[in-house]
């Protein structure tokens, strides 16, 4: 078990960040193990033909047998939304000693796989050459496999952060972590992360906690080494909506009353969503969505609130009752 010690100041410094590089690296697990996540099967089927020319052996060798990944490939984001190029530039500056240590730690107790062993067993120059080769490969992989889907992925991740921030505001740390994942448990100022490799405690000591929602994380992923600041990638809500077609409501009477577009909108809004994300899920234009939302808002079926540059819409209790009379499923 790994745990983070967080005092009041650390909780006050808890923040969220997006990391396109971290999701790119975490997706290698799904690439290597098709059965790891059925949710991502459509993504994998579409990606494998596109990356056929890349060095798949080197890519997948970065994932250890027990699915851990080297810490240096996921540097701590320095701002809310760093670009992939900015994050990769940090990786390119990683010293040879850190690269070697993190590769060994990630794969321990197993020996390093062949694509990594020769370089890490040699001098620092060979380790740096391996680092640079991995960076070039990750850049090509990002371009082919992740970048086309990143705008949609980002909307899902931002919706998750909005939900989590509200949980923190309403119920504090206990409520924030309560439904993030069953492996997380908050007690007496300590966040416990179960079912992970490693057994150490990391005191935040004024460094706060960084939370990074991820499309490809199948469970919470803390740092592998104990000298890293407290950071946690965790599975985002709403991931299943990325690769599946939007689902229309089944209530024929509701479609007759509202019309199919408004009924589909109402069924979708069980959590706060911005207009652009609603449009993406329903595969229509944002302007069309805005017109229907205006009608639903005027009739009291949805509520809206501004969150930064987004206006978030959510079904009201009246809308809930109309969609599911008497609370029926």
pLDDT at residue 249, rounded to an integer = 45
pLDDT at residue 328, rounded to an integer = 43
pLDDT at residue 253, rounded to an integer = 64
pLDDT at residue 248, rounded to an integer = 46
pLDDT at residue 49, rounded to an integer = 95
The set of long-range contacts for 123-130, using a CB threshold of 8 Å and a minimum separation of 24, is 124/96, 124/97, 125/96, 127/96, 127/99, 127/100, 128/96, 128/99, 130/99
Domain boundaries, the chain: 2-235, 245-327
Specify the DSSP class assigned to residue 149: G
Q: How far apart are CA 36 and CA 14, in angstroms?
A: 30
Q: Nearest to residue 10, comparing CAs of 199, 224, 232?
A: 232
| Element housing 273 (H / E) | strand 273-274
Residue pair 224/106 in contact (Cβ under 8 Å)? The answer is: yes
pTM (two decimals) = 0.74
Question: In the chain, which stretches have pLDDT less than 50?
Answer: 248-250, 328-329
Beta-carbon neighbour count of residue 260 at 10 Å? Answer: 12
Task: Please state the φ and ψ torsions of residue 215, each to the nearest 5 degrees.
Answer: -75, -40
Adjacent-strand bridge partners of 3: 192, 201
Angle between helices 286-298 and 275-282 (to 10 degrees): 110
- Write the pLDDT tens digit of every residue in 23-71: 999 999 999 998 888 899 999 999 999 999 999 999 999 999 999 999 9
Return the CATH class of domain 245-327: mainly alpha
Burial 161-192 (b: 16+ CB within 10 A, else e): bbbbbbbbeeeebebbbeebbeebbbeeeebe
């Amino acid at each position: 078990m790994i745990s983070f010690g967080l005092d009041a100041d650390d909780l006050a410094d808890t923040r969220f960040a997006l990391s396109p590089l971290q999701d790119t690296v975490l997706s290698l697990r799904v690439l290597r193990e098709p059965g790891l996540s059925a949710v991502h099967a459509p993504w994998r089927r579409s990606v494998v033909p596109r990356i056929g020319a890349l060095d798949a052996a080197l890519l997948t060798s970065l994932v250890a047998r027990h699915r851990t990944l080297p810490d240096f490939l996921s540097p701590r984001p320095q701002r809310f939304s760093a670009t992939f190029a900015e994050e990769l530039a940090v990786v390119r500056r990683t010293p040879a000693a850190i690269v070697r240590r993190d590769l060994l730690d990630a794969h321990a107790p197993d020996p390093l796989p062949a694509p990594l062993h020769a370089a890490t067993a040699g001098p620092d120059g060979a380790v740096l050459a391996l680092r640079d080769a991995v960076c070039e490969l990750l850049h090509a992989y990002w371009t082919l496999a992740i970048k086309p889907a990143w705008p949609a992925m980002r909307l899902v991740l931002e919706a998750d952060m909005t939900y989590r921030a509200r949980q923190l505001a309403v119920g504090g740390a206990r409520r924030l972590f309560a439904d993030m994942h069953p492996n997380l448990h908050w007690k007496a100022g300590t966040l416990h992360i179960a079912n992970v490799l490693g057994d150490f405690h990391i005191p935040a000591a004024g460094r706060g906690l960084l939370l990074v929602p991820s499309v490809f994380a199948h469970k919470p992923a803390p740092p592998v080494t104990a000298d890293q600041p407290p950071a946690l990638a965790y599975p985002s809500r709403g991931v299943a909506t990325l690769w599946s077609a939007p689902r229309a409501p089944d209530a024929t009477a509701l479609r007759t009353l509202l019309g199919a577009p408004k009924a589909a909108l109402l069924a979708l809004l069980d959590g706060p969503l911005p207009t652009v994300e609603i449009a993406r899920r329903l595969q229509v234009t944002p302007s069309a969505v805005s017109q229907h939302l205006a009608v639903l808002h005027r009739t009291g079926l949805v509520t809206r609130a501004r969150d930064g540059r987004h206006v978030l819409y959510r079904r009201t209790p009246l809308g809930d009752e109309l969609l599911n009379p008497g609370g029926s499923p």
